[in-house]
Chain A
Amino acid sequence: MFIKRKYFFEYLWEGLLKISGGLTSVAILLIVIFLFSEGIGIFNNSAVEEGYSIIVGKDNDVENLSGEKIKDIFDQKIVSWKTLGTTIENHDSIMLLRLDDIASYVSENKIASDFSNLPQIIEQIMKDNPSVIGFLPSEYINKDSDYRILDLGKIKPKDFFFGKQWFPTAQPSPLFGVLPIVLGTLLVSLIAILIALPFGLAVAIYSAELASEKVAKLIRPVIELLAGIPSVVYGFFGLIVIVPLIQKLFNLDVGETALAGSIILAIMALPTIITIAQDAIMSTPRSMKEASLALGANKWQTIKKVIIPYSISGITAGVVLGIGRAIGETMAVLMVTGNAAVIPTTLLEPVRTIPATIAAELGEAPKGGAHYEALFALGCILFIFTLVINLIVEYISSKNKNKA
């Protein structure tokens, strides 16, 4: 009887553990699948804004207009057909035709109040003006009329991953070039690590090897405290202290820069780096330290020649995990980096990171639209970054285990 009950509880526990483990795995898997299915959807969107068409005259043989070119045309940065490799007799300068422009082609009283005659009017305008390019709601476009509907195709992975412009709300052709955002993320994180590494390592070595027991006992809670501060508070601190400081120091117009983001991230990554590096340093066998000291090496020589080489993989793991934290950090970075989606060339320019972009834009992107899916695709990129980082940590610590 007694034995049977024990079995029953064992089964129960095992079952519960299995179920909760299974549920967690399924939930994680579902999240990842959701993320990627939404993200990949971006490549199913047409390069022109939903519900609109781009049209040119029937003799206009322009081809392969990229989203960026379309944007330049409608921003009137490109004004001649020749620059696009097309010649139109006597009509080289590009004329734009949007809904608002129609009134400048025909007198307003010709347009029916319910726009019912718009298709005919558009057809007429296109016939009269061979150098027009039109961007109009598809409902006014006649499939078999006398002008040509430009087929820009779908958003191409090349334009997404290597596009240099992020204008998700641009008309007529939104631009989803993530390169500046990806580079911004990498830059801010990398510089953050370069700043955090020397400080983190110094504190770790000091508290593990040099500090007296009392001081070491004091340092630990301080570091834990640092890890527990919410990220908005860091952002606030950055905004109030670091941003103005950078602005003054470098005499800039705005202090919200990549550098400010890096500094804040460095401070936030410190606890991770310090605690893990400290553990690694303290895991150096006492026999190694004693061997070095017994040979007449002093403390510093022992740290440099024995302790750091011995714990280097643990230290690296700490640093990589620190990057992992930095790369996914949202709030603080959003507050201090200025959020300009341009490819960064110096540290003293505003940049924008992936998490900041998602946080700032997801609210205003219509669900299921191209912008929405582009943000999910950004999320996928971030996910892959952190996955790679975790794999690296895994690899390093497995190598570490083999050594010990």
Chain B
Amino acid sequence: MYSIEAKDVNFYYGDFLALKNISMQIEKNSVTAFIGPSGCGKSTFLRLFNRMNDLIPNIKLEGKIMVKGEDVYSKNVFVDQLRKEVGMVFQKANPFPKTIFENVAYGLRVNGEKNKKKIEQVVEQSLKGAALWEEVKDKLNRSAFALSGGQQQRLCIARALAIEPSIILMDEPASALDPISTLKIEELIFELKKKYTIVIVTHNMQQAARVSDKTAFFYLGELIEYDNTDKIFTNPQKEATQNYVTGRFG
């Protein structure tokens, strides 16, 4: 069974066809990179997996999105349950105006977890999982805004880990970070791969090449090519892909 499977997906913003007939399978415990020029539909596609697009009015989806074999757009799906299974990290770090501890505990609290011991334990575990624990363990009660941008992004990753998803979606998680913070996030992705299925959108070709097992190249709402990462970067089948990964356009 695939972690995520898209079947003949067409997606509209009003009349605008943003995704054209996309099918794709994503394996468990793998890292998949979405690349492509700005506006080609990477975020739109990614946000279908946890139904984040639901917030936008006048959208229409054709085709099927399956997560762990279940059609997530069928009527009897609980969206909040789906989102606990499919965590998300956004382009810009978006911690809540709360303490570091409360940011990580948020997902547990809205889940109805009351046991203080258990919450503390999960918070520590998640911060360790996001490689942030050593830096913040003495200031858990400080505002999350007191952290650096890179730390804030890792806090958001920790926050996503705390709800114990099996899939993590990352939309340009390192695009606003300095090279060292970026490297840390990449190392982290490498670690996380052991336990999670990861889909990452990136504009950074080297990053895609470094962290991902498979890469999907999108162009104007279409999935042009989807294959093993080394193949995409060394021997792509389509000319458009070739041009894009070598930096000749985009």
Contact = CB atoms under 8 A, between A and B. Distances in A.
Interface of A: 213, 285-298, 301, 305-306, 309-310, 403
Give chain B's interface residue range (CB within 8 Å of chain A).
20 to 34
Given A290-B90, A290-B94, A296 B55 contact: no
Given A291-B96, A306-B96, A296 B163 contact: yes
12 contacts: A287-B94, A288-B94, A291-B90, A291-B94, A294-B90, A294-B160, A295-B110, A295-B160, A296-B83, A301-B110, A305-B110, A403-B97
A296 B84 contact: yes
Contacts of A298: 80, 110
B80 A296 contact: yes
A287 B92 contact: yes
Nearest to B50: A294
A296 B81 contact: yes
Interface string B88-123: 101010111100000000110111000000000000
Given A287-B92, A288-B96, A309-B97, A295 B55 contact: no
Contact of A290 (B52, B84, B106, B109): B52
B106 A305 contact: yes
A264 B218 CA distance: 60
Interface of B: 50, 52, 55, 57, 80-81, 83-84, 87-88, 90, 92, 94-97, 106-107, 109-111, 156, 159-160, 163
Contacts of A292: 96, 106, 110
Contacts of A289: 55
Nearest to B112: A301
B90 A296 contact: no
A76 B180 CA distance: 91
Contacts of B83: 293-296
Given A292-B110, A295-B87, A305-B106, 8 more contacts: A290-B55, A294-B160, A295-B83, A295-B107, A295-B163, A296-B81, A296-B110, A297-B107
A293 B96 contact: no
A214 to B, nearest CB: 10
Contacts of B107: 295-297
A290 B42 CA distance: 17
Nearest to B156: A291
A294 B88 CA distance: 6
Nearest to A300: B110
Closest 8 CB pairs of A and B: A296-B84, A287-B94, A297-B110, A295-B107, A294-B88, A296-B83, A301-B110, A291-B94
Contact of B90 (A287, A297, A306, A310): A287
Contacts of A213: 57
B170 to A, nearest CB: 11
A295 B106 contact: yes
A209 B6 CA distance: 30
A306 B83 CA distance: 17
Contacts of B87: 294-295
A216 to B, nearest CB: 11
A309 B103 CA distance: 14
A287 to B, nearest CB: 4
Contacts of A288: 94, 96
A287 B90 CA distance: 8
Contacts of B90: 287, 290-291, 294
Given A298-B80, A301-B110, A305-B106, A293 B55 contact: yes
Best-surrounded residue of B50, B80, B97 (most CB of chain A within 10 A): B80
A295 B113 CA distance: 14
A293 B90 CA distance: 12
A192 B52 CA distance: 40
Contacts of B97: 309-310, 403
